[in-house]
């Protein structure tokens, strides 16, 4: 009996098998990266989580609810009223910003409240003089050893929104009034570290520069910072002197020491747009500063700066782009980073109890462990 010729479906299957064999032998880079992608898992903390802060021996982060991480792992915590979307901490209180993004309110709790042995969440109010501002468009909150600060929308100049800052040690905040500045147009509060705070300033065409860096205790704007668009602050020992100091980063990726006057030139620069994510990371016996970026060709994640190196009396900071082997050695390596967190915009970075965490813009909270980046599973 004469055998029938193979049908179209069989021919197509045979052709596909040949193509697969040919490409697998050639180790196409696309297959190389895909083979190292972190399998997607439903994240424990979804969406775009807030920055992370430490308070009373625990780490806290918000994304609709408030989450608490301890040395023993994830733990329950008393929830504040409303939908929590930002956190801050001072030496005495944990703060949460909750609401719908427009009509927002601030709540705070102390260590006894966290432990369940004291008062729960207490409302924080904003005032002008002795008058309660009421429901305000509070956008950001930050805390440091110097105090607590809130960035509040105050109005508009043309099509540009204007912002002021409220601060204070009690549950009644007053408006921050730096000398010589329009207190209702300081730029959106973007960071607090050491004895300084920063804002997203600007220099309107034909207008007066607004915002920059300010002493947390008040006083005139830091000279040299006028109109700079700062995205974030942190304290790190990756500095020219090698000692811990507050730093700030601009949208353009320039990193400055926070001081009584700002240098004309940054001490380091990413060469990419910065998201504001900043953290010191100690890993595998190596200390570095990790900085969230938004680069070209869909290159996200972070870059790394090593400790300062002095060559011919010139101090430089080694820049390792897009996840060097310093931070992702071992089984996963650089390819695993590039195929996972390196493809995702990172909003915040934070190290707690030896683990580095990354809040992404939309893919939940990630961490680094077992030589690879991955979303924290439920």
Q: Is residue 328 a part of any domain in this protein?
A: no
Tokens of 33: 């990266």
Q: Is residue 357 a part of any domain in this protein?
A: no
Nearest-5° angle of CA 282, CA 48, CA 372? 40
Residue partners of 5: CB distance under 8 A and separation at least 6: none
**Which CATH number goes with the domain that contains 206?**
2.120.10.80
State phi, psi for 375 to the nearest 5 degrees: -65, 145
Q: Is residue 151 a part of any domain in this protein?
A: yes
Q: Is residue 299 a part of any domain in this protein?
A: no
Instruction: Note the pLDDT of residue 339.
Output: 82
Instruction: Note the pLDDT of residue 78.
Output: 96
Contact 290, 279 (CB under 8 A): yes
- 75-109 in b/e form (b: 16+ CB < 10 A) is eebeebebebbbbbbbeebbbbbbbeeeebbbbbb
Q: Is residue 49 a part of any domain in this protein?
A: yes
Contact 135, 146 (CB under 8 A): no
Q: Sheet of 355-360: strands edge to edge?
A: 346-352, 355-360, 365-369, 372-375
Distance CA 171, CA 100 (A): 21
Instruction: Note the pLDDT of residue 208.
Output: 86
Number of domains the chain is built from:
1
What are the distances in angstroms from CA 154 to CA 71, 110, 137, 204?
A: 40, 29, 8, 18
Q: Is residue 40 a part of any domain in this protein?
A: no
Q: Is residue 351 a part of any domain in this protein?
A: no
Match 């915040």 to its residue by tokens.
348
Distance CA 217, CA 219 (A): 7
> Of the candidates 198, 294, 292, 203, which has an alpha carbon nearest to the alpha carbon of residue 248?
198
What secondary structure letter does DSSP report for 208? -
Parallel/antiparallel/unpaired status of strands 65-70 and 73-75:
antiparallel
Contact 247, 239 (CB under 8 A): yes
For the stretch 92-101, pLDDT in tens is 999 999 987 6
Distance CA 162, CA 200 (A): 11
DSSP result, 100-154: SSSSEEEEEE-HHHHHTSS---EEEEEEETTEE--SB-EEEEEEETTEEEEEEEE
Instruction: Note the pLDDT of residue 33.
Output: 45
Residue partners of 346: CB distance under 8 A and separation at least 6: 275, 277, 292, 300, 301, 302, 358, 359, 360, 361
Q: HSE (CB half, 13 Å, CA atoms) of 145?
A: 6
> Of the candidates 285, 255, 339, which has an alpha carbon nearest to the alpha carbon of residue 29?
339
Distance CA 304, CA 326 (A): 9
| Residue ranges making up the domain that contains 150 | 45-228
Distance CA 41, CA 367 (A): 13
Match 């595998």 to its residue by tokens.
284
Q: HSE (CB half, 13 Å, CA atoms) of 337?
A: 24
Instruction: Note the pLDDT of residue 136.
Output: 60
Any bridge partners for residue 285, and if so which? none
Distance CA 369, CA 346 (A): 17
Residues of the chain below pLDDT 70: 1-41, 101, 129-136, 297-298, 311-313, 318-333
Distance CA 70, CA 173 (A): 30
Helices (H), 153-252: none
> Of the candidates 58, 67, 34, which has an alpha carbon nearest to the alpha carbon of residue 364?
67
Parallel/antiparallel/unpaired status of strands 84-89 and 160-167:
unpaired
Distance CA 302, CA 321 (A): 8
Q: Is residue 198 a part of any domain in this protein?
A: yes
Model's pTM, two decimal places?
0.85
């Amino acid at each position: 009996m004469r055998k029938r010729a193979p049908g179209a479906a069989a021919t197509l299957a045979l052709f596909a098998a040949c193509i697969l064999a040919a490409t697998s032998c050639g180790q196409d880079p696309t297959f190389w990266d895909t083979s190292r992608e972190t399998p997607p898992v439903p994240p424990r903390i979804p969406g775009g989580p807030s920055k992370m802060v430490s308070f009373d021996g625990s780490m806290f982060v918000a994304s609709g609810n408030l989450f608490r991480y301890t040395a023993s792992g994830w733990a329950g915590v008393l929830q504040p009223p409303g939908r929590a979307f930002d956190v801050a901490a001072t030496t005495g209180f944990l703060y949460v910003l909750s609401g719908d993004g427009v009509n927002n309110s601030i709540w705070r709790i102390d260590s006894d409240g966290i432990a369940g042995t004291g008062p729960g969440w207490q409302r924080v109010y904003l005032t002008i003089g002795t008058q309660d501002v009421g429901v305000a468009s509070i956008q950001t909150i930050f805390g440091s050893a110097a105090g607590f600060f809130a960035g509040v929308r105050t109005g508009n100049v043309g099509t540009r929104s204007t912002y002021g800052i409220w601060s204070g040690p009690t549950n009644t905040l007053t408006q921050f009034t730096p000398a010589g500045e329009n207190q209702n147009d300081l730029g959106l509060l973007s960071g607090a570290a050491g004895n300084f705070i920063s804002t997203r300033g600007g220099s309107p065409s034909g207008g007066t520069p607004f915002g920059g860096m300010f002493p947390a205790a008040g006083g005139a704007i830091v000279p040299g910072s006028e109109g700079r668009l700062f995205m974030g602050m942190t304290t790190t020992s990756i500095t020219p002197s090698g000692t811990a100091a507050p730093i700030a980063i601009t949208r353009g990726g320039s990193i400055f020491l926070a001081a009584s006057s700002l240098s004309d030139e940054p001490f380091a620069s990413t060469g990419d747009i910065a998201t504001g994510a900043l953290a010191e990371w100690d890993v595998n016996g190596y200390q570095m500063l990790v900085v969230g970026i938004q680069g070209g060709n869909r290159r996200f994640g972070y870059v790394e700066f090593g400790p300062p190196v002095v060559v011919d009396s010139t101090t430089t900071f080694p820049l390792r782009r897009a996840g060097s082997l310093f931070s992702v050695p071992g089984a996963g390596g650089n390819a695993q980073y590039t195929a996972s967190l390196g493809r995702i915009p990172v909003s915040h970075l934070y190290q707690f109890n030896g683990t580095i965490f990354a809040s992404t813009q939309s893919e939940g909270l990630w961490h680094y462990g077992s030589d690879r980046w991955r979303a924290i599973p439920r």
